[in-house]
Amino acid sequence: MKIALVVLALLCVGLIALGFWLWTPDRPRAELEPKYLASPGDMIEVAGTRLHVRDTGPKDAPAVVMLHGFGASLHTFEPWAQALSADHRVIRFDLPGAGLSEPDPTGLYTDARSMEILLALLDRLGIPRASLVGHSIGGRLAWSVAAAHPDRVDRLVLVAPDGFASPGFEYGKAPETSLLVKSMRYVLPKPMLRASLVPAYGDPKALTDATVDRYYDLMLAPGVRDAMIARMEQTVRDDPRPALRTITAPVLLVWGSDDGMIPAINAQDYLRELPDARLATFTGLGHVPHEEAPDETLVPVKAFLAEAGARPAP
């Protein structure tokens, strides 16, 4: 009996020690901002929450707003934004509770709240209309705004957009959040994060150490992991087809042929429903073609945004 108690006690001590070793605390903003905040003025209050916003390019040029995907930040579009800023006013922002944007004080991370924040940001910047570039859940947000507020949207670039039902994501039902996902509030080893990012790339070698460091650092910003879990738990998809059919803005779909997260075949669902859409597919690329091959994937995007019909900001 005494031996069993000793073994049990040692096991408990070992588990506690392992927990302390694996525990991954938040990193202070004072550590993160020097690396990822271009200017203190990029933190602004919009619709009651503090957002990290970058606004580059001529202020009188056609406006383009870029919306990142789940777990990402405005930095995901850096090469595209730099190139487009020569001829466009390019606005990027971290969704609340992502990147350097602070968690939303309302606790709401629904699509409706995200749309409210996007429109409020456009109003604050004095932009009546813009083209929207959205990746993954940012793509879902972009086409949702175009359907609900057609007067605010010129053109849509949807990069592997989310929206249609898939395994684990049914219409009218919030997805179940696994214990493993919830545990990232406390435990997030960098090798585990790297392993979760690898499937997003057609060529795993395209995932650099610097990219992993950026994703890791910003996921450890105060409150980000809680916000990520809340966003997952509050996401309830509706059948997108009725909304997609109402979109009048021209649409460019951008997809990697080897996307393992939202398969390229999903592009056909969008092409069937959208009144004015075309597809650019890139062989061998994965879920983040704008990160994996930014120069190659920007070519059709730049041409699409330059077409007649894109309206300059007044």
Tens of pLDDT, residues 71-81: 999 999 999 99
User: How remote is the C-alpha of 84 from its chain's centroid?
Assistant: 19
- Report the distance separating Cα 110 and Cα 191, nearest Å: 30
Least confident piece of the model among 66-70, 79-83, 230-234: 230-234
Residues 6+ apart with CB under 8 A from 30: none
CATH code of the domain occupying 29-306: 3.40.50.1820
User: Taking 70 as the threshold, does the pLDDT of residue 204 lie above it?
Assistant: yes
Average pLDDT over residues 175-186: 82
User: How remote is the C-alpha of 261 from its chain's centroid?
Assistant: 13
Check residue 181 and give its pLDDT: 77
Tens of pLDDT, residues 139-150: 999 999 999 999
Query: Which 3 state secondary structure label does DSSP give 208?
Result: coil
Contact (CB, 8 A) for 286 and 257: no
Band of residue 12 on the pLDDT scale cut at 50, 70, 90: very low
| Angle, CA of 301, 251 and 77, to the nearest 5° | 40
Check residue 17 and give its pLDDT: 36
Least confident piece of the model among 14-18, 154-158, 178-182: 14-18
- Report the distance separating Cα 127 and Cα 210, nearest Å: 34
Q: What are the structural domain ranges in the chain?
A: 29-306
Look up the pTM and report it. Answer: 0.89
Tens of pLDDT, residues 259-279: 999 999 999 999 999 999 999
